[in-house]
Amino acid sequence: MAAGLGLLAPGPAAAAPYCGLEWGSRAKADAAMSQAKVVNVRTGQHYCFDRLVIDLNGPVAGYTVRYVSKVAQDGSGLPIPLRGQAFLQLTVNAPAYDDAGKPTYAPGDKGELSNVGGYQTLRQVAWAGSFEGYTSLGIGVRARLPFRVLTLAGPDAGSRLVIDVAHYW
């Protein structure tokens, strides 16, 4: 009867995740080593997230993506300056050079791999190096936001490592 008279207060409302995303911000990794080589880095904007794509010339295997206090350069360990309030270090378990040591991906501007001006979340994508079979990038983001990592086949015999960073929690 109390419910019929409107005397019961509604229960607490549970906030729905932003755009239905339930990714989290903890490190994501796969320890496998790839025989593929890094051949390109690009970015894109989506309604709920900003995207970073690393193209490989074969099947993608291992990676590590995690928030760090500073991104370190491969080999030297020197810090990579990045714009943003939070920083993701991305390591692809694949080199950006062939078996003869010739680069398969050589960025024109190591501090700006892709123009992310106007992006909602990404602030900068920088080269951290390719050393001993691993390739690393630094990603400056607006805040420590949830992210996911995907591996996608194609085009052709290639593959893609995709990192999506949400616009909000």
Strand order in the sheet with 86-92: 28-30, 63-68, 86-92, 134-141, 122-131
For the cut 90, the answer to whether the pLDDT of residue 7 exceeds it is: no
Residue in the structure block whose two tokens are 């062939």:
98
Selected residue with higher pLDDT from 5 and 32: 32
Which residues 6+ apart lie within 8 Å of 4 measured at CB? none
> Which domains does the chain possess?
24-166 (2.60.40.3500)
Structural contact between residues 97 and 103, judged by C-beta atoms closer than 8 angstroms: yes
Dump pLDDT digits (tens) for 40-79: 999 999 999 999 999 999 999 999 999 999 999 988 899 9
pTM for this structure?
A: 0.88
Helix (H) or strand (E) holding 150: strand 147-153
Strand stretches in 58-105, DSSP E: 63-68, 71-72, 79-80, 86-92
Instruction: For residues 87 and 101, give the distance between their C-alpha atoms in angstroms, rounded to a whole number.
Output: 29
